[in-house]
Amino acid sequence: MGGAAKVYFSLPIASEYVTTHYSSSSIPVTFSVLSMPVSFTRYLSFTPQEALLILITMFWGGTFLAVQYAMTVSDPFFFVGLRFATAALVVGLFSIKSLSGLTLLEFKAGVVIGISIAIGYSLQTWGLQTIPSSKSAFITAMYVPLVPLLQWICLGRMPGLMSWIGVILAFFGLLMLAGPEGTRLTLGAGEIITLIGAVAIAAEIILISMFAGRVDIKRVTVVQLATASAVAFAAMIPAEESIPPLSSQLIIVALGLGIFSAIIQVTMNWAQRSVSPTRATVIYTGEPVWAGIFGRMAGERLPVLALVGAALIVLGVLVSELKLKRKGHKNTVTPENG
């Protein structure tokens, strides 16, 4: 094949569409829908990198049930440590030749990203001991509207109006979802722990995008996975966790999720070299939806009020990724491309 093809997928919602370029020589594929006579214009375009993130998100949603099952045979920090140790080993085996070129910047990037991964996944896993997997997934999705807020706090990028509206919607959705029986607007310990984990995951998204393009993907991934494992194992001491019996169930789940974690991290690091933090988090919005589907297949049933709250969180996530843009004399809303 002479020269890579530029493939872009455009889904116009309203009367216009935008495209995202991949490389040289154009092969456009356009999917059209009926124009919508509304004042909102929403553009969704998918590059090959974004398509991979979408596929990963679908499988990612199913991991919540697997982790919840693992909590019946292991404590959270040991499981997270074992999971990411497996992932680090897998990626390391395929990156042996390149590891000798590890730079100081790559080491620092891997460590800070790994710490955020350890905090986020450990707290999420801890919370799964007391709340359903579908509820955990929707609370974890709060990291999406948190990304613009953390960018404001850490990078000085002021969130737009739609980001604030998205945060408010997601916050009220969280309160409605978090009631133990869907009847009280309160946060329990499991919900609070999971929410703090969501903040750490938001930080991971930002950190990956900050370093992407300046570092070697394989080397940084090995460092961040190894760091996440080391931090989780170290947390066993203050948490007073003991090493559980290494049953076949624990080993199978840990190895399976470890390998999948390696695939997730490599793909995220690669794809976000060309996908902005905000567009990446829009794609990740599908995670709790898939988790909810898998949870229902497994017999989980969220009360009506909790379902409304889950819907508000998803709505808040999507709204937070829109921005007001003046076009001519009319205000329209378009996706924020980071």
- Average pLDDT over every residue of 237-258: 89
Let me know: does 242 contact 128? Beta carbons within 8 Å.
Answer: no
Higher pLDDT, 139 or 287: 139
Tell me which long-range contacts 302-307 makes (C-beta under 8 A, separation of at least 24): 302/132, 302/134, 302/135, 302/177, 302/182, 303/179, 303/181, 303/182, 303/183, 304/182, 305/176, 305/179, 305/182, 305/183, 306/135, 306/176, 306/177, 306/179, 306/182, 307/182
Going by the DSSP 8-state scheme, the letter that residue 297 receives in this structure is H
pLDDT tens for 67-104 read 888 888 899 999 999 999 998 998 898 888 888 889 99
pTM: 0.69
- Percent of the chain at pLDDT > 70 equals 76
Q: Give me the DSSP letters along 187-217.
A: --HHHHHHHHHHHHHHHHHHHHHHHTTTS-H
What pLDDT, on a 0 to 100 scale, did the predictor assign at position 105? 94
Residue 333 has pLDDT above 50, yes or no: no
Q: What pLDDT is stored for residue 171 in this prediction?
A: 79
**Tell me: the pLDDT tens digits for 21-47?**
333 333 343 333 334 444 333 444 567
**pLDDT mean across residues, the chain:** 75
What is Dmax (Cα atoms) for the chain?
67
Q: pLDDT: is 305 or 179 the higher one?
A: 305
Q: Is the pLDDT of residue 169 over 50?
A: yes
Give the mean pLDDT of 159-171.
80
What pLDDT, on a 0 to 100 scale, did the predictor assign at position 22? 32
Taking only the tens place, the pLDDT of each residue in 275-308 is 776 677 667 777 777 787 777 777 777 777 777 8
The pLDDT of residue 196 is 93
Residue type, position 196, single letter = I
pLDDT score recorded for residue 123:
94
